[in-house]
Structure formats: C-alpha cells, structure tokens
Structure 1
Amino acid sequence: MRARPGHRLIDAPVAALPAQGRGNRVASQAASSATVVGGAEALEQLLQGKDIDRWCQKIIDLEDEADHITAEVLLAVRRSFITPFDRGDIKDLIQSMDDAIDMMHKTVKTVKLFETKEFDPRMQEMGGVIVAAAKLVAEAIPLLSKVGTHTVRLNAIAEEVMRVESRADDLHEQGLKDLFKRHGRSDPMAYLIGGEIYGQLEKVVDRFEDVANEISGIVIENV
C-alpha cells in the first residue's frame, strides 16, 4: 500500500466502520477524497499542454493508489457491520469515486497513444470543470458522518455538481462543433482524436455526477 498523507480516497463512510472492522488503519488510509482531487488537478495541468509526461504519470500513480485504497475499503465493508450506512451505499459511493479517476486514466492513455501535445481551449475549460466537481465531492464526503446535521449543504452540493455537469455538456457539444469546423474535412484523424478526448473528459464529469447521485441517495435514506 502506497498511500501517502493527504492522498486518500474517502472518509466518512469508512469512519462508520466499527473499530474491529477497520484493520490495517483502513479508516486513516482512506481519510479523504484528496486522491480524486489530486487526479483532477493533474488532469487540468495536463490539458495546459506543458509537462505532459509528468502530469500523465501523476494521474497513473494516483489511479493506482486509488485502486489499492478502494480494494482495502471494500474488503473492510464485506467484513464489517456498518452504521449508519448500508453496505451497498458504501460500495456504490466508493466505486463511483474510483470510476472517476479510472476515467482520468483512460484520458491519459489516449493522450499518450496519439502523442497529443496541444489541447483546445474548451478542453482546458473542461479541466477546470472537473476540478470543481472533484472539490465539491471532497467537501461532501466528510459531511456524511452526520447526515442529519448537514442535509441542506449535502443537497446543495449535489445540485451544484449537477450544474457543473451541465456546463461540461455545453463545453463538450461546442468543442465538438469547433473541432469539426477546423478538422472535420481537412484532417479527419485530428477530429477523431479530439472527439475521443472530449468524450472522455465528459465521462469524467459524468462519474462525479454519479457520486452526487449516490450522496443524494444516502441523504434520502438516512434523514
């Protein structure tokens, strides 16, 4: 396990595990969503087109770390009686967060495969949107330890993630239109590669929307 202080995946749901079920300091190892935020920030930097190899490797490392943390947490979930959340709620929430950074990794694979060095302004804007979504999720996670106390804020965060996702949809659509105008006929390969990157960035935001939906579900079930 390579978890470092400040780079962990999730906290409140794991904090709900009884002490005997945590084992190997799973609770402390999964103390925040900083791994996902770190991946989002690295992706935003990658899309600036500078130090691409560095930021690609950063995302790869964080995705690997997130996988290890997720596996440990899910093992603890299977072994433990969990309150105040249902096992399925914990599993789905953690998996949705892991899916977000997995999709960032897929974007990296595309960038490396096609040796992409420049990124459209709207791709860069989508990078900022992804960071915003990740930070909203990071704010929400610790609030789940006291759902009743933080219901209003949790619902507001979920709604804000939905608005962020809508903004990403707009950027995706306009970006594809611009891409087609520039390359649709003159350079079909550039259009296809750009379209693939746009699509993957959109899917990253979609995964954060999934997280927001899981949070909303937990609020509804526990208030």
Structure 2
Amino acid sequence: MVAWFRRILPREERFFALFDRHAGIIAAGAAELRAMLEGGDAVARHYPAVLAHEDEADAVTREVVQAVRRTFVTPFDRGDIQGLISRMDDAIDEMKKTAKAVALFEMREFEDGMREMGDAIVRCAAILRETVPLLAAIGRNAGQINALCEQIRQIEGEADDVHDAGVTALYRRCRAEGGALGYIAASEVFDRLEKVVDRFDDIANEIEGIVIEHV
C-alpha cells in the first residue's frame, strides 16, 4: 500500500537536469574568471560574464528550491538536495566576489600563482561537471563519484600551497619595494581565489555525504 501510494504522489524528475545545468554554469563562470586573470583588457571583457553566470546560477538554484517544495517524492533526501545546490551556488558566489575584488582594486596585472589558482578552479569545475550526472545512479557510480571527489580534494590541497607560497612571495616583494597598497589588493585576490577552491571542496564533501547515505 505504501509503495502504491508513493507511486501516485507528484514527482519531480528534473532535479538531475537542474544540477547538471548549474554545474555547466559554474564551469562557464570559472572559465571567465580565469580569463580575467590574463590581465590587461581581458579584465573588463570577461568581468561582466562572471556576474551574468552568477545570476544564471541563482535562477537555477531557485528552481531547485521550488521543485523541492512542490514535490512529494524526491530522488534523495530533501535536505541533501538543498544542501548540494546551496554548496554549488556558494562556489559561483565566491567567483563573483573574486571578480568584484579585482574590479574594486582596478587590478590589471596578476601573479603567476593567481593564474595557477585560476587553473585549479577550472579543473575543479570540470570534475564537478563530470560528477553531477553520476548522481542519477548513485549506487552504480559510488566508486567513481568518490574518486572524482578525491581529485577535487587533492586540487584544493595543491591550491592551498600555491596560495601560501604566492602570498609569502608577494609580501616579501612589497616589503622590499614599499608597496603596502599593492600587497593589500593582491593578497585579497589571492584569498578570494582560495575561497573559491575551498567551496569546491565543500561540494565534494556534500556529495560524499549523499553517497554514504544511499549506498
């Protein structure tokens, strides 16, 4: 009787498509943010696109939240669905904050370490795009999902090392040159880039938690 009742309840089959769309937007935002780090005129060219992708991601997040509210039968726990889309949205929110910091400080030149961290963000976004479709069959794909999440974790650790080395080198150079304001601006962008990578680690943790509950 319970199984029959569940079958006639309203279902929302679009959750995975919405997750996939959001992951695609994250990847597009990551590419635009990385392009900004090339410096010069690229900053102004790609800055608006980062903001536009963040707006797109917000719209998808709202769709997911609305779908959760109107659906009785969801593919996995409602809290997990909202937690995952929130963590994903946090990642592109941090990209927007990073882009705005670059614009605020009128930066047109960037450290090599910043570009390395931008590369790390693009790599994490690509792994996320590969991971999200696998959630439609968690049991069958659990091993692959966990392996991909571990890749994100490794990239996050590497990015931490790049951040620390970059900020140290920046401090030493600015101290020698007397460039306190330049240090403040550049260290803020370094920190923002680190936070973007950290948000991907949060996503990986959220996904691994879902896998544990469903395998």
TM-score (ref. length: structure 2): 0.90
| TM-aligned CA deviation for residue 56 of structure 1 | 0.6
Q: Does the CA-based 8 Å contact 1:45-1:55 persist in structure 2?
A: yes
| 1:147 aligned counterpart, secondary structure | helix
Q: Deviations over 1:136-177 (max 9, x none)?
A: 111110000000110110010111110000011001000101
The residue aligned with 1:206 is 198
Q: Which runs of 5+ in 1 are unaligned?
A: 1-17
The equivalent of 1:187 in structure 2 is 179
Deviating beyond 6 angstroms after TM superposition, the runs of 4 or more aligned structure 1 residues are: none
More helix by share: 2
Query: Cα RMSD (Å) of the superposition?
Result: 1.9
2:212 match: 220
Counterpart check, 1:35 vs 2:28 = no
Q: Alignment partner for residue 103 of structure 2, among 89, 104, 112? A: 112
Task: Summarize deviations over 1:174-213 as a string: whole Å, max 9, x none.
Answer: 0101100111351111101111000000000010000000
Change beyond 3 A, Cα 1:212–1:102: same
Summarize the Cα distance change of 1:56–1:146 in structure 2 as closer, same or farther, 3 Å threshold: same
Percentage of pairs with the same residue: 44
Equivalent residues of 2:68, 2:74 under 8 A apart: no
TM-score by length of 1: 0.87
- Max Rg structure: 2
Task: Pick closer, same or farther for the CA change 1:26–1:145 going to 2, 3 Å.
Answer: closer
| Aligned counterparts of 2:64 and 2:110: Cα–Cα separation in 1 | 36
In the TM superposition, residue 19 of structure 1 has moved relative to its aligned partner by 9.7
Which residue identity lines up with residue 187 of structure 1 in the other structure? Answer: G
- Structure 2: stretches of 5+ with no match in the other structure: 1-7
Q: How many angstroms does 1:29 deviate by?
A: 5.6
Please point out which of 49, 59, 71 is paired with 1:58: 49
Q: Alpha-carbon deviation of 1:30?
A: 5.3
